Chains A and B, each alone.
Chain A
Amino acid sequence: MKRIMAVTLAALLASGILPAGDWPSRTINLTVPYGAGGTTDLTARSIANGMAKVLGVNINVINTPGAGGSAGSLNVQNARLDGYTLLANGMLAFATMPLNGYTEKTFREWDIWIATYAPNGIIVPADSPYNTITDLINAIKANPGQITAGTAGAGSGGHFGAEVIKAIAGADYKHITYQGGGPAVTATLAGEVDFCPQLLAEYKDLVIAGKVKALAVLSESDIEIAPGKVIPTILKSYPDAKKFIPMGEVTGILVPKGLPEDILSKLDAAFSSAAREKDFLDFAAVRSFAVMPMGRAESQKFLETFAGRAAYILYDAKAVTIDPAQYGFKRP
């Protein structure tokens, strides 16, 4: 009996096939192409909650991890375009997807609402000899290819951070990759790598507790993570790095272009209200995310610069072989 009940339940969960009417008349599925509980997932859920209130229907978050977020993004790209399947994704991986050869569609063929920005933070183990970002960069200059950086892998947020450091130092680092941001942070705690350039949000508490030292953030201004605890922007020591900054993950809601304008304007309204919800702002504050809601037109404009910067960082690091120019990405 228990088995039968569970099967019925599973079948109900799996089927989203209900009659359609005036949009939205049924539950909207929001695909998160990463696991539950990650940065993208939490941001998506927080935004979805606010949007659901305005739209008056449930928004069901579906996690489809795999292939660095591409599997889920492609699912949404290939799904029926009826406004009931949305995507939430980080723009670093999303915008560079064509360069991996997964798809030929760029961000220009999607309607995008950007919600948050989370900067990279450069940290070193608590007992590291480096106390400032200048110490670290001088060490990389003095020992090219010897200083180890632990990241979540090629194309991850941390990889972008490390490449910015490399560009500033003008010398290479040794890239040590882990199966995700968590293991990379653990390795930094254990002292296996010299520095970790992942997103600041991933180790904010470790910095506050003094388990690791934060040297700089790759945002345009300093960030105060706790009263009196300020992490300087890298621009303070290296103003020339301006063209790479801000670097970090930008997260938003996406849907392939082609929806009727009345559905899009309902999404516009729902998004802008959700981005002002207190719960969402609180969530962003705890994680040190900057809330910078952008509408569809503004997001496209932002992404032209951002995607170009991200694409060329990957291309120059030889992490991808397809030339970004092929898709009209502009070199910063």
Chain B
Amino acid sequence: MNQPVELQPDETFVLNVGPQHPATHGVLRVKMEMNGEYIVHAETVVGYIHRMHEKMGEVKPYPQFLMNLSRLDYLGAMGYSHCHALCVEKAAGIEVPKRAEYIRVLMVELNRVSSHLVWLGAFIMDLGGFTPLLYTFQAREHILDMMERITGARLTYCYIRFGGVSRDIDDQFIQSARDFMPYMRKELIKYHKLITGNIIFKKRMVGMGHISPEMCRKYGASSGVARGAGINFDVRRNEPYSVYPELEFEVPVYDGCDNMSRYMVRMEEIEQSLRIVEHALDQLPDGPVMPKKAPKIIKPPAGDYYQATETARGTFGVRLVSDGSQTPYRMKLRSPTYSNMHLFDEACRGLMIMDAMAMMGTLDLVIPEIDR
């Protein structure tokens, strides 16, 4: 058993990270070819939590598929059902009342804040700092409580329906959302004091984990990954949908291409989302939240439809090919993290394992969303 092994001068070994590993946040497996602590090549292996959501979309009638959408990304579920609803409404020609659209945006943005808060805590934990996780989860709890009262769920919402939303928001929700804004801004200042200024944190972030804009274009990366590489693209502004053209917000873009840029983009996105929520609350129109004659059976005319939205993790797209029946002929879900993750191989080559893990943290991976 213990036979002497002849040493090769440039020998590498394979390190199998995952499917159960604390840094991969789920069941992602990365086969890393290592030269000492340096990564020569990394292969991401996906499919450990594949649940054939696309196929389910093709065999179920449209309304029955609604709850599947929130099982893709359990952290920012609202954005995904929003995209699907918009696509089906476009296909079937369903009018959405103004108030319902505002409420959708309100919920999506609150959900984006909560998703980014989880990312922030988990990312700092990848770097070895435990405390911020507890802080961000405390702030996130406020959002979840607020949304639970209206939507009835904390993570996997089925709130957005074809034509509107399932329940109107009430004064208590509006009040708690307004109270949340100054609280969250104060918390953000606290996070910046605790995390952003830390010297070790800066050393691990500034100039580390280079992802170039070319790489982003090649792999179709979006969200903070692309905007951290200087690509000024946000579906909410570039391909406006819903009521976003009526709302004021900025798209934070940094061109450092490093961990710090991606981190700063996400931190500022939290602020911008708060701004959108505030603005949407100010402009909230009166009226119904479902159209009077919401169709019970949805049969979009035959055709090919596509809708993209900006979710917490990037550009999510639903492509719908209808043959005029109750179920779609093809339902393609373009998940943003799937594209973001494939950057990892090219971006991590030559990095040490700890820097590669930090870089992976900034990609904001949610594995069920990759595997679908």
The reply to whether chain A is a binding partner of chain B is no
Chain A interface residues toward B at CB < 8 A: none
